[in-house]
């Protein structure tokens, strides 16, 4: 980011918006008699959750070596993507920029918000062509650029994230849903240098808690304040907050999960080398493979017959299927099927 302040990027009505604040959000209130929110006095889960997620943010702040004011917690990363677009993009006026192919929800939420979606076509190795990026951002009025790294559905990491931060005057969102599998450093380390940076992470992948729907945004306190102003008051439920906090008490869970998945990644990569119907296996930094098949209709049809669900990516990526890593039993079922398909 060159000279813009964050406030110049925010929608005017958002700057004027007053956040919903519960009485219970104030630290001085810890009343034993709760008669303020029209809840039932009975039931196992009868109270609203902490709308500020204090305990969870404080724990994450310890782990990430940030202040709790640099963390927003969402109902999955999807909610945070939606909120970022609503904060910075004026409907019917502003644009977002995303990689192509990449995670479809960036464009989905922008379209709902009536924003134009611009796409940067990736090269044959699924890398961003820097010249195309510079040409696009110099010609278009773009507020938010979404970088998915490692990228879904291609599996590769974005090279030289700082280049894009240095050459874009809007908000750069680095979506790190799969960062734990890559071995790369998180862009969280760049937050102090770049006020226009937002880093998204999630508990859905490496942590194995997709059902809880909890995602995090890490950014400057100024941006996080905006997100907390716009978000729904009780956006992350009690059960999810408690589950995440309990999981974080044992940090070995993450390393164990990642190690087991990476072991399966390696095993599958070796197995794919001897399968006739596979044309190409693309490199991956994630917990999935993008694979080009010699006869995608036949292969995909056979997998459906055997109730093996995968993600068909053509025609956007011709001939390709995205297959995520399962446990060994699931992976063996997949390999046995693929070995019996004649191209």
Tokens of 261: 């998945």
Closest residue by Cα to residue 87 from 237, 196, 186, 243 = 196
User: 262-308 pLDDT, tens per residue?
Assistant: 999 999 999 999 899 999 999 999 999 999 999 999 999 999 999 99
Radius of gyration of the chain (CA): 22
Report the pLDDT value the prediction gives residue 31, as an integer from 0 to 100: 72
Pairing between β-strand 171-175 and β-strand 197-202 as defined by DSSP bridges = parallel
Contact 322, 313 (CB under 8 A): yes
| Domains of the chain with bracketed CATH | 9-249 (3.40.640.10), 253-339 (3.90.1150.10)
pLDDT at 139 over 60: yes
Tokens of 187: 């862009």
User: 201-254 pLDDT, tens per residue?
Assistant: 999 999 999 999 999 999 999 999 999 999 999 999 999 999 999 999 998 999
CA angle 243, 175, 2 (to 5 degrees): 130
The H or E element that residue 56 is part of is helix 54-64
DSSP 8-state code for residue 151: P
- For the segment 48-70, the average pLDDT, to the nearest whole number, is 96
pLDDT at 3 over 60: no
For the chain, the 3-state helix, strand and coil shares in percent, each to the nearest 5, are 40, 15, 45
3-state helix/strand/coil string of 214-262? CEEEECCHHHHHHHHHHCCCCCCCHHHHHHHHHHHCCCHHHHHHHHHHH
User: 70-83 pLDDT, tens per residue?
Assistant: 999 999 999 999 99
Longest dimension (CA), the chain: 70
| Mean residue pLDDT across the chain | 95
End-to-end CA distance of the chain: 50
Closest residue by Cα to residue 98 from 137, 48, 46 = 137
């Amino acid at each position: 980011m060159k000279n813009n302040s964050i406030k110049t990027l925010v929608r005017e009505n958002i700057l004027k918006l007053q956040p919903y604040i519960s009485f219970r959000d104030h630290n001085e209130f810890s009343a034993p008699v709760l008669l303020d929110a029209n809840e039932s006095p009975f039931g196992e889960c009868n109270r609203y959750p902490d709308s500020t997620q204090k305990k969870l943010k404080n724990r994450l702040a310890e782990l990430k070596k940030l202040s709790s004011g640099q963390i927003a917690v969402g109902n999955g990363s999807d909610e945070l993507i939606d909120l970022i677009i609503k904060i910075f993009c004026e409907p019917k006026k502003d644009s977002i920029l995303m990689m192509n192919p990449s995670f479809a929800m960036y464009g989905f939420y922008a379209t709902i918000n009536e924003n134009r979606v611009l796409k940067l076509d990736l090269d044959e190795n699924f890398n961003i062509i820097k010249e195309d990026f510079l040409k696009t951002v110099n010609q278009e009025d773009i507020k938010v650029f979404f970088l998915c790294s490692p990228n879904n559905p291609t599996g590769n990491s974005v090279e030289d994230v700082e280049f894009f931060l240095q050459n874009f005057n809007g908000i750069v969102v680095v979506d790190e849903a799969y960062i734990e599998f890559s071995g790369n450093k998180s862009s969280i380390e760049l937050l102090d240098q770049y006020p226009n940076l937002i880093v998204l992470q999630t508990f859905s992948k490496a942590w194995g808690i997709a059902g809880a729907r909890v995602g995090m945004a890490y950014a400057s306190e100024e941006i996080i304040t905006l997100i907390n102003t716009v978000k729904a008051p009780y956006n992350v439920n009690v059960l999810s907050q408690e589950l995440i906090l309990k999981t974080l008490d044992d940090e070995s869970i993450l390393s164990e999960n990642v190690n087991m998945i990476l072991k399966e990644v390696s095993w599958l990569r070796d197995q794919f080398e001897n399968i006739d119907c596979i044309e190409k296996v693309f490199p991956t930094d994630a917990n999935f493979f993008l694979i080009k098949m010699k006869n995608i209709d036949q292969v995909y049809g056979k997998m459906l017959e055997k109730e093996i669900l995968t993600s068909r990516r053509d025609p956007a990526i011709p001939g390709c299927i995205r297959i995520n890593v399962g446990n060994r039993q699931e992976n063996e079922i997949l390999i046995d099927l693929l070995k019996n398909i004649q191209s």
